[in-house]
Structure 1
């Protein structure tokens, strides 16, 4: 991989850090890889498969090296989208291509709805927008329950609920919050509450991300080519169901990528997808 140039960008309410890896090829557009709340380290393997292109990664506000300066407890996708717009403008290269994962895919849809002129092609992989699901009321309630549990009982208890939500197949039942859940130590998580409430997933982004409703008229009118994708092993899960609903709202087919929600991971965070096959599918989607 090329040497990484790390840059700092002041935005409205945050100081962002982003990384630029110069490619060996002559592709005219940088490839921006984004997640949320996952930071730039999660794209190490995927970036290595695009060494021929300039690859840009970043830490979203409140995550990793990017520090919030506004003191807010939650972040909306529109705020992340504004950060991304400023980052792309700071690059000074013109429109970029974007691969966006999970919450990053939600934020990228907000970006394109507002500033489609900045994005040539967007591949949005499994945006977990519960708002677009047929069972939206129940889905939004379980996502809110994750945050409520975290604020009440701490990180371990909140993560148990989060694991249950993201692994659940099909529509959510109305009695979800009242169901029994395993103890945190079942998953090797702490049972004691450490008192902290600064987790960017459970606290900062949980409600804003899942409750975001894509602006389909703006997205269809944007100059950006949008590809919505889901993992072949993710069928029935919240993020994959939401991806299918977003693709339907755009009037485009759903692309099926190898592996699962983290299919591009090659050992980051202890998770292994199918990064080589995933990168091949992503390259085909970008170049179609």
Structure 2
């Protein structure tokens, strides 16, 4: 059974879901909402208490100021507030894409709140040797959104990410919520996520174990070298997960099995 809750945090009201029973694990993305992680959460819920949420300004999580920017630090503070609301001193965290950066910022800003963080394909473009060119490409995506709308901006985003024309897209026209989430992403999140840099000393100083995850089918994607670069900074090796960047959506049972193994090792 899945229960739906809301939580007031500074400047926003978060929508979150709780399912299952057992050790607590928070599963998150950004800008991906809770619905994107439902198959994985269902697969984990047999032996874990799984919490998913809509990041502030996305889907069911509303903002007091719609013009507020979304940074990994702000999102990390929201997750710390979620842990407080759950009565949890600490939890395991699985974060994918922008959610991986949320998890990394949580480890840095709130020592002791994370047991194991699995940072799946973090888009840490600043760790790449061509970071300046990547920054320019992101600026172009954002400019394209403001001038031409979400569709052309997403096409540039997918090309830069490494998908080209291979990225499976949902059928039909985007909903009003899809368009609102896209606007939030391009106007208030993308730049702050892709220009964020982790602090290796802070990530390794506390009790949290940080594991970098990467998809076995992601070698063509920009998040593959960013994941490898983060693992090198931490003195570890990435753990391979099924599928590519969205493997948790398309292979939830196999993905959950791998994630269970990683968490059990901690």
Q: Same fold (TM over 0.5)?
A: yes
Q: 1:42 aligns with which of 33, 36, 39?
A: 36
Whole-Å separation in 1 of the counterparts to 2:108 and 2:154? 31
Q: Which residue of 2 aligns with 1:64?
A: 59
Aligned residues: 255
Structure 1 outlier segments of 4+, above 4 Å: 187-190, 195-198
Instruction: Answer yes or no: is 1:101 the counterpart of 2:81.
Output: no
Gaps of 5+ in 2: 166-170
Q: Is 1:32 matched with 2:26?
A: yes
SS of the aligned residue for 1:117 comes to: coil
Gaps of 5+ in 1: 170-180, 182-186, 266-272
Give the Cα separation in 2 of the matches to 1:229 and 1:36.
16
Secondary structure of 1:46 counterpart: helix
State whether residues 231 and 257 of structure 1, in contact with CA within 8 Å, keep that contact through their aligned partners in structure 2.
yes
Aligned equivalents of 2:230 and 2:160: distance in 1? 19
Name the structure 1 match of 2:143. 148
Deviation at 1:196, TM superposition (A): 7.6
2:162 aligned with 1:160 = no
Q: Secondary structure at the match of 2:237?
A: coil
> 2:256 aligns to what?
279
Alpha-carbon distance in 1 for matches of 2:209, 2:153: 37
1:147 to 1:203, Cα distance in 2 relative to 1, 3 A: same
Look up the match of 1:9: 7
Residue 19 of structure 1 pairs with residue 17 of structure 2: yes
Question: Could you report, residue by residue, the CA deviation over 1:182-229 in whole angstroms, capped at 9, with x for unpaired residues?
Answer: xxxxx9889xxxx98962222221101111101111001121011101
Relative to 1, partners in 2 of residues 1:17 and 1:168: Cα closer, same or farther, differing over 3 Å?
A: closer
Residues 220-252 of structure 1: per-residue CA shift (max 9 Å, x gap): 112101110110111142112111111111111
User: What does residue 84 of structure 1 align with?
Assistant: 79
Which of residues 207, 210, 226 in structure 1 aligns to 2:191? 207
| Cα distance in 1 between the residues matched to 2:88 and 2:102 | 21
Q: State yes or no: 1:251 paired with 2:235.
A: yes
> Per-residue CA shift, 1:116-154, capped at 9, x if unaligned?
311101111001111111111111211121111101211
Matches within 5 A, 1:123-138: 123-138=118-133
TM-score (norm 1): 0.83
Report if the CA contact (8 A) 2:19-2:42 is conserved. no
Q: Indicate the structure (1 or 2) with the bigger Cα radius of gyration.
A: 1
Give the whole-Å Cα distance in 2 for the aligned partners of 1:220 and 1:53: 26
- Conserved 8 A contact 1:46-1:275: yes
Give the alignment partner of residue 234 of structure 1, picking from 218, 222, 235. Answer: 218
Q: CA RMSD in A?
A: 2.1
* Equivalent position SS for 1:65: coil
Q: How does 1:151-190 map to 2 (within 5 A)?
A: 151-167=146-162
> Retained in 1: the 8 A contact 2:120–2:214?
yes
